[in-house]
Amino acid sequence: MIRDFVEAWPLFSGNARRFLLSATLAGFTYSGVYFLLANLFLARLGYDAAFIGLFIATGAASFAVSSLPAGIMGRRLGPRRSMIGGYLLLMTGLTLLSMAAVVPLAWRSAWLLSCCALREFGNSFYIVNANPFLMETTGEEERRFVFAARGAVVPLAGFFGALAGGVLPIWTATILETNETDPVTFLVPLLFGGCLLLPGWIALLRTQEEVDVQQGAAPNNATTLNNGTTLENTSAPTASVAATAEAERSTPPGDPTVFPLGPVFTMMGVGLLYIAAMSASMSFFNLYMDQELGVSTSRIGSVLAIGQLLAPPAGLMLAPLSARLGYDRTFALSAVGVVLGALLLGLSGNWLMASVGAVTITALSAIAFPAITVYQQELVHPDWRPVMSGAYMMSVALSWSALASGGGYFITEVGYQPLFLLGAALTAAGVVLFSVYARLVRQA
DSSP string, 97-115: HHGGGGS-HHHHHHHHHHH
Higher pLDDT: 113 or 8? It is 113
Burial (CB count within 10 angstroms: exposed 0-12, middle 13-18, buried 19+), residue 3: exposed
Q: Check whether 330 has a pLDDT greater than 90.
A: yes
Residue 260 has pLDDT above 90, yes or no: no
Same domain membership, residue 186 and residue 69: yes
362, 273: one domain: yes
Buried b / exposed e along 287-322 (16+ C-beta atoms within 10 A)? ebbeebbebeeeebeebbebbbbbbbebbbbbbebb
> Which pLDDT score, from 0 to 100, does residue 173 have?
82
- For 403, which DSSP code? H
Dist. CA 334–CA 444, nearest whole Å: 24
Residue 55 in any domain: the answer is yes
d(CA 389, CA 394): 8
Tell me how far apart the alpha carbons of residues 359 and 2 are, in angstroms, rounded to a whole number: 23
Residues 392-396, mean pLDDT to the nearest whole number: 89
Residue type, 90: L
Supply the pLDDT for residue 229: 39
Same domain, 322 and 376: yes
pLDDT(382) > 70: yes
Between 352 and 214, where is the model more confident? 352
282 and 151 both lie in a single domain: no
Longest dimension (CA), the chain: 81
| Statement to judge: residues 379 and 282 lie in one domain | yes
- Higher pLDDT pick, 169 / 94: 94
Asked if pLDDT for residue 210 goes beyond 80, the answer is no
Percent of the chain with pLDDT over 70: 85
In angstroms, rounded to a whole number, what is the distance separating the alpha carbons of residues 206 and 90?
18
- What was the pLDDT predicted at 49? 62
Number of domains in the chain: 2
DSSP 222: E
The CB density around residue 247, as the number of other CB atoms within 10 Å, is 17
- Residue 219 within any structural domain of the chain: no
In a domain, 238, yes or no: no
Question: What confidence score (pLDDT) does residue 301 get?
Answer: 63
Q: Tell me, what's the pLDDT at 249?
A: 43
Do 268 and 412 share a domain, yes or no?
A: yes
Q: What is the pLDDT of residue 5?
A: 61
288 part of a folded domain: yes
| 174 shares its domain with 302 | no
The verdict on residue 57 lying in a domain is yes
Please compute the mean of the pLDDT values over residues 404-425 and round it to a whole number: 84
Query: Are 266 and 203 within one domain?
Result: no
Contact of 398 with 274, CB cutoff 8 Å: no
Lowest mean pLDDT among 165-169, 205-209, 414-418, 429-433: 165-169
Say which amino acid occupies 396. V
Q: Are residues 88 and 198 in the same domain?
A: yes
Q: How many CA atoms lie within 13 A of 427 on its CB side?
A: 32
Is a pLDDT exceeding 60 seen at residue 84? yes
What's the burial of 147, exposed, middle or buried (CB within 10 Å: 0-12/13-18/19+)? buried
Give me the pLDDT at residue 1, please.
55
CB proximity list for 34: less than 8 A, separation 6 or greater: 94, 161, 165, 190, 193
Based on the fold, state whether residues 172 and 87 are members of the same structural domain: yes
Looking up residue 294, the CATH number of its domain turns out to be 1.20.1250.20
For 285-300, the pLDDT digits (tens) are 776 887 788 877 567 6
Q: Is the pLDDT of residue 23 over 70?
A: yes
Percent of the chain at pLDDT above 90? Answer: 28
Average pLDDT of span 344-352:
89
Would you say residue 241 lies in a domain? no
Q: What is the mean pLDDT of residues 44-58?
A: 76
**Residue 240: inside a domain:** no
Q: For 102-119, how does the pLDDT look when each residue is reduced to its tens digit (9 = 90+)?
A: 888 889 999 999 999 999
| 316-326: pLDDT as tens digits | 888 888 888 99
| 9 and 130 belong to one structural domain | yes
Residues 263 and 158 in one domain: no
b/e code 329-351 from CB counts within 10 Å (16+ = b): bbbbbbbbbbbbbbbbbbebeeb
Query: Is 80 exceeded by the pLDDT of residue 303?
Result: no
Residue 230: its H or E element: strand 230-232
Taking residues 404-408, report their average pLDDT.
74
Distance of CA 372 to the CA centre of its chain: 11
pLDDT over 60 at 240, yes or no: no
**Tens-place pLDDT, residues 141-178:** 777 788 878 877 888 888 888 778 777 888 888 888 77
Domain containing 184: what range?
1-209
- Residue 402 within a domain: yes
